[in-house]
Amino acid sequence: MSRREHWEGVYSSKPPDRLGWYKPRLQTSLEWIKTLGLEPDAAIIDVGGGACTLIDDLLDEGYTSITVLDIAEPALALLKERLGDKSAAVNWVCGDITKVELPENAFALWHDRAVFHFLIERTDQERYRDNLCRALRPGGRLIIGTFAPEAPPKCSGLPVQRYDLELLRETLGSEFELQRHQEEMHVTPGGVEQMYLYCDFRFAP
Ligand SMILES: C[S@@+](CC[C@H](N)C(=O)[O-])C[C@H]1O[C@@H](n2cnc3c(N)ncnc32)[C@H](O)[C@@H]1O
């Protein structure tokens, strides 16, 4: 089964609030983004955004230049439906982050919760990094949440790469300067505990 088929199947199997990574609000992401002092029209991309509520919250906060990228069309369709008329204000990209070509120096903020950790092959991690380094503006921010070492080795039936701070810094490269980090426990709707490592990096190429 291809990566796209896997994720499309996942979104067709359960309502979004029963999926393992579901949180009613991505509080850490939202709080951290609000402290960055971004202009309302700063370009923000949520990579593997799925159907999560971060986009609803960012629109409510007044951000006007939001891109959501996801490999699974059903995830984007769920989010579009929930946003209704507001969905017209969002730029939608359906694609695999290891394959799409994003525009250069396009974004002030790249957000990723629970996507990068699914890339377990070095070549995929490098393709992700290539896209990240091309599309993020110098001085831009990367807010990323991955499974921490204490988390289970799989998520959504797929193996994941779990990261401690050292491994994440090494994998992303020295152009990414750590600004803050924290571990955060997530409990899935089925009651499974998943420890996340959340990091905020400044891109200094
Ligand atoms: C675990 S979910 C997290 C969703 C959302 N970020 C959140 O925190 O609620 C992973 C998401 O990434 C998407 N995804 C997985 N691999 C991807 C890839 N290679 N490129 C783009 N999206 C991907 C999936 O379709 C899914 O929506």
Give residue 35 CA to ligand 1 midpoint distance, Å.
24
Instruction: Determine the distance separating the centroid of ligand 1 and the alpha carbon of 69, expressed in angstroms.
Output: 9
Mean pLDDT of 40-48: 98
d(C-alpha 37, C-alpha 205), whole Å: 21
Residue 126, exposed/middle/buried by CB under 10 A (0-12, 13-18, 19+)? middle
CATH class of 3-203: alpha beta
Q: What is the pLDDT of residues 176-192, one digit of tens each?
A: 999 999 999 999 999 99
Looking at the predicted structure, is the pLDDT value of residue 194 above 90? Answer: yes
Instruction: Report, as an integer, the average pLDDT of 141-161.
Output: 97
Pocket perturbation via mutation, ligand 1, pick of 7, 12, 76 by most ligand atoms within 8 A of CB: 7
The per-residue pLDDT for 42 is 98
**Ligand 1, atom nearest to 10 Cα:** 25
Q: What is the whole-number distance in angstroms between the Cα of residue 63 and the centre of ligand 1?
A: 22
> Which pTM does this prediction carry?
0.98
| CB proximity list for 114: less than 8 A, separation 6 or greater | 21, 48, 145, 146, 147, 155, 196
pLDDT at 1: 87
Ligand 1 centroid, distance to 76 Cα (angstroms): 11
Asked if pLDDT for residue 18 goes beyond 90, the answer is yes
Which residue minimizes the CA distance to atom 11 of ligand 1?
48
Q: Is the CB of 50 under 6 A from ligand 1?
A: yes
What is the per-residue pLDDT across 52-103, written as a single tens digit (0 to 9) for each? 999 999 999 999 999 999 999 999 999 999 999 999 999 999 999 999 999 9
pLDDT at 139 over 90: yes
Say if strands 176-187 and 193-203 run parallel, antiparallel, or are unpaired: antiparallel
The answer to whether the CB of 52 is under 6 A from ligand 1 is: yes
User: What is the 146 CA–ligand 1 centroid distance (Å)?
Assistant: 11
Place of tokens 């200094």: 204
Average of per-residue pLDDT across 136-144:
98
Q: Domain spans of the chain?
A: 3-203
Note whether 133 and 205 are within 8 A (CB). Answer: yes
